Structure 1
Amino acid sequence: MSIGNSPEDDRPSPEEEPPSIGRVLHQARIGSGLTFDEVSASTRVRVPIIQAIEHDDFTRSGGDVYARGHIRMIAQAVGLDPAPLVARYDSERGGRPAPTPAAPLFEAERIRPEPRRPNWTAAMVAAIVAVVGFVGFTLFSDGEEPRRTTQVAEGPAGADEGSATPQPSREKPADPKPDPSDSAIAAVPKDKVTVRLTVIEDKSWISAKAANGKIFFDGTLNKGDSKTFQDDERVDLILGNAGVIELYVNGKLVENEFQPGQVQRLSYTEGDPEAG
């Protein structure tokens, strides 16, 4: 009597669980032939943090926002698409919180100058000067031919004999236009912190939040994209590719020496720009 296979033997084997985030990053780094120091140099993420992430320990990253940034930068350095890894990180932690929409922000470039109003005062002065000049000429040339009166009424007389001395103009000069501000965003409110950034090439991952922890933005901006953030006390930034970003703080351009691929953590308050 032959004994057949048991029903359990015919059951399909369960699918193998995919490798963890840290395992995927570790294998990609080894496959790319990169050391921890080389990945750290290109991402500005410290070696102990990279080592912890490869062991799926994200506690050293300092929070979910920083952990997402570290995953993105390390994945790009070892040649991986960071989006699936970040999505998996969020799903394993109950989903990513929806960002709170920021209040309408002030953008000085949208302000249109008021149309210049007619200078009625200058017009009235010019009219009075013309009347006074005409009356004065009439008094001085009372015995002259009507032809000469007609000439003066149209404009100053020439050097002909008996012509009246032209009256000096008393027209009030037009008000000088104010010099343009040196700042590209000169009219920002002085009682708030206003930060505007623009990606001038490539792309960059950006995270921005207010002093109370409210997230303004957490995502990737492409070349040409701009964002403006404003808070009463402080604006905290994480720039994932700082070298490609043009940054204005409180209406002033921030001069920096950030490099492409460099991660920068910055904080700005009233009276800045000064790197936090």
Structure 2
Amino acid sequence: MSIGNSPEDDRPSIEDDRPSIGRVLQEARIAAGLTLDKVSASTRVRVPIVESIEQDDFSRCGGDVYARGHIRTIARAVSLDPDPLVAQYDADHGGRPAPTPAAPLFEAERIRPERGRPNWTAAMVAAIVAVIGFVGFTLFNGGDEGSKDNRVAEGPAPDRKPSPTTTTRPAEPKPDPSDSAIAAVPKDKVTVKLSVLDDKSWISAKSHNGKLLFDGTLLKGESKTFQDDERVDLILGNAGAIELYVNGKKVEDVFETGQVERLSYTKGDPEVG
């Protein structure tokens, strides 16, 4: 019987020889001739966070979701494939975490008052009736004026004072573009459309049951549309660069550049979500 470690215990572990995520990102950055400031400017990740990640300290990222997003963004900035690094992060931190419903997070951070849903159908019917009534009234008055002019032409022209002013009929109301957009989307589903107007943004979208619909970065000019039967949960990494339509209606919230937003929308207007 031997005393001490067995030969199997002395064999080096393969995992121990693998370089850490921070070391790989740091060496790639140095090889590309980039400074921390340049990486921060291109990724919009603050310098202290980039520096902490290169030291394998992910505590400043704010959670696994943001850590994975920062690793992807920085890896692309230094010309690395992000998938192996994200897989290594998941392996080092107990695997990919179970999806967390975004609705409670959104309700905690962005509580909005309940608003009554406008009856768009009734409003459109009322507008159509008003337009038809206006057109009928215009045609009726026009016919009367024409017949009066004909009778005057047949007899002696009476003395008339010139009309002091000319009445200008108001232009027919034009429908709001958002009305047609709302009518085009399915009423029994939640429809969310994202368009990146400036720079780029990291997007995460999930359905009401936690299914991941999209997780990645959209560049300037790109857009994505998501639908679900009940709810769509969003995390926007750079919300200020995004134009957002929910159920055919533009969300008027003003997001700041670099701001992270957690949003959740259901059927109806954006305010209902």
TM-score (norm 1): 0.49
More helix, by proportion: 2
Higher gyration radius (CA): 1
Task: Compute the TM-score of the two structures, normalised by the length of structure 2.
Answer: 0.50
